[in-house]
Amino acid sequence: MGLLDTISSPEDLRQVPADRLDDLAAEIREFLVDSVSRTGGHLGPNLGVVELTIALHRVFESPRDSIVFDTGHQSYVHKLLTGRHDFSKLKKQGGLSGYPSRAESEHDIVESSHASSSLSWAEGIAKARVLAGEAHRHTVAVIGDGALTGGMSWEAINNIAVERDLPLVIVVNDNERSYAPTIGGLADHLAALRTTRNYERMLDWGKTTIKGTPVVGDFVYETLHGVKRGIKDIVYPQQGMFEDLGIKYVGPVDGHDEAAVEQAFRRARAYGGPCIVHVITEKGRGYQPALDDDADRMHGIGKINPETGLPFEVAGRIWTDEFSDEMVRLGKERPDLVAITAAMMIPVGLDKFAEAFPERVVDVGIAEQHAVTMAAGLAYGGMHPVVAVYATFLNRAFDQLLMDAGLHHAGVTFVLDRAGVTGSDGPSHNGMWDMSICSVVPGLRLAAPRDGDQVKSQLREAVEVDDAPTVIRFPKGDVAEPLAAVRTDGSLDVLHDAVEPQVLVVGVGAMCPTALQVAEKLEAQGHSTMVVDPRWVLPVPADLVRLARTVPHVVVIEDNLVTSGIGVAVAHELAEQRVPAQVHTFGIPKTFPDHASRSQVLEAIGLTPDVIGTQLIAQLSAHE
């Protein structure tokens, strides 16, 4: 039995002798590589926080003390140390979530896996403790340097700075990257702090002088009020940034020296007010394939060979690839095209564009709000920006989409990757709200490509629009085979035709294959059915309204929130135009689907051809 097998709670961890902690760290890394290589998951981030997490649970007493993980993809070690050792179904239906989950453990607090929110959560929790007379209970936020690029983090810091007695510790896990290397002024500042690791040692060596007199480290450090900052500002003028804001700063600390991290945490806990502990870690630590290759490729992985770090199967072509290649082609044709992303250059497929046109790509960090408003400014200046983000992260910039892009008729194209059900990444990563959000923006035009060919052609159409925001959205995973139209009817692609149809089925984007299968089931029961792909679904096309006048029933199938999606928009438009057809809507219910594969989620919510077909046949029969 290894050390890890003996740990089912933080109390057990605190009983492990200090001289065995390096052995425990090695066991944990071996466990992570072995387990995550079998299931897929976030490997690199967790390999980097092993000692940090051990120290957290030895110094702070969860759940009495609250530990909040920003984003939460680095919580695997936390799960192990709080008794969750079965990783066999990680991120799969019925198994452990890839993020903190309140249903799994009392040690988990924040389930949302959107970045930069941990400091606000932590301030709220810590303030609640004080108001309840429980100031002895500490709150710890673990946030990466990448998440610190998000504006919400700095809104929180601005408020935390005036809470002088708040029992709050902010752990900055500085590994110089989020999905990719962290960029921006803050990244430069943290990099400079790393170069002054030996600052206190310099004082001890007496190499710093005041008015020509050598300084003895302990004397200056402990007894000369105000001198410490003066010396620090000489060595590196901006090192006092956090303390100048009113927050105690400890560090930088070697994040792989468990004893040093523990000592830093104990100092922070004893301080009695907000304190930042700056911990330097290495993403992918201890796993040579990650260190030899690209640590970002090991950020989130599928099943891999643990010996080589290579995937067992060669990845097929995905939806993102279609966008990526077409952006490069468009970049060659249009010098006004500018690409923007929020710390996800590779995941959203802009890396090729960045290689070809480095001067025309901007990575703003985890700052979607800034990305959208900056894009509006670029459009005003004569450029055509393409903002590429995950669909779920558009939620974070709704106000900017509405007031900066929409109100100002800005010619900005938004490309939403991983739209619809994404599955294994859990409830906060499903892209199930984007069409609902976009539907309330006046003038916005939204396209939902049904296959890779449509991604390319509709992207071209989108960037031609210079007087309104445009949106292209597509799902995660392997791209669908091209689905040719049998004919066009105005702006609509007819995918399945019928003479005098009784039912018009509208497939939205990736749900077009499902719409065709539903049509087969309806026709098998004697219901003549036509299937169309509107291509541009917002605003509701006039040609769709025209065609709806010819049938008694219109069916809309989409992978968006059904209560406020395209189906609702179609029903409203038909009512406005006094079209008598009955509208049947099928989409994602107003819930947060649990993590599972995409197909399992679709099955669970009834968004499959069999379920939709059965329900429709019953509804049509009721109206005969």
Report cis status (omega within 30 of 0) of the bond before 252: yes
390 has binding-site annotation: no
Is 396 an active-site residue? Answer: yes
Q: Are 322 and 296 in contact (CB under 8 A)?
A: no
73 has binding-site annotation: yes
**What's the angle, vertex CA 285, arms to CA 281 and CA 287, rounded to 5?**
170
225 has binding-site annotation: no
> Which residue in 177, 232, 283, 535 is the catalytic one?
283
85 has binding-site annotation: no
Q: Which residue in 67, 29, 79 sits closest to 51, CA to CA?
A: 29
Q: Are 41 and 301 in contact (CB under 8 A)?
A: yes
Long-range contacts of 185-190 (CB under 8 A, 24+ apart): 186/145, 186/148, 186/149, 186/365, 187/145, 187/149, 187/365, 189/238, 189/241, 190/145, 190/278
Residue 495 sits at φ, ψ, to 5 deg, of -95, -25
Q: Are 73 and 40 in contact (CB under 8 A)?
A: no
189 has binding-site annotation: no
Is 368 an active-site residue? Answer: yes
Residue 571: both structure tokens together: 């029903």
Is 91 an active-site residue? Answer: no
> Which residue in 368, 445, 450, 573 is the catalytic one?
368
Q: How far apart are CA 545 and CA 491, in angstroms?
A: 11
- Which amino acid does the sequence have at 481? E
For strand 487-489 and strand 492-496, is the pairing parallel, antiparallel, or unpaired? Answer: antiparallel
3-state secondary structure of 535: coil
Q: CA-CA distances (angstroms) from residue 142 to 67, 110, 278, 283, 453?
A: 8, 12, 10, 15, 43
Residue 10: both structure tokens together: 């933080």
Q: Which residue in 595, 613, 425, 421 sits closest to 531, CA to CA?
A: 613
497: Cβ contacts below 8 Å, ≥ 6 apart: 486, 487, 530
368 has binding-site annotation: yes
Q: How far apart are CA 565 and CA 563, in angstroms?
A: 6
> Which residue in 129, 137, 396, 445 is the catalytic one?
396
Quickly count helices (H) and strands (E) in the chain.
25, 20
527 has binding-site annotation: no
287 has binding-site annotation: yes
For strand 168-174 and strand 275-280, is the pairing parallel, antiparallel, or unpaired? Answer: parallel
Q: How far apart are CA 39 and CA 302, in angstroms?
A: 7
Strand partners, 173: 144, 279
Q: Which residue in 556, 568, 504, 551 sits closest to 531, CA to CA?
A: 504
- Per the annotation, where are the binding residues for thiamine diphosphate? 73, 113-115, 146-147, 175, 287, 368
Residues annotated in a binding site for Mg(2+): 145, 175
Binding residues, by number, are 73, 113-115, 145-147, 175, 287, 368
User: Catalytic residue positions?
Assistant: 283, 368, 396
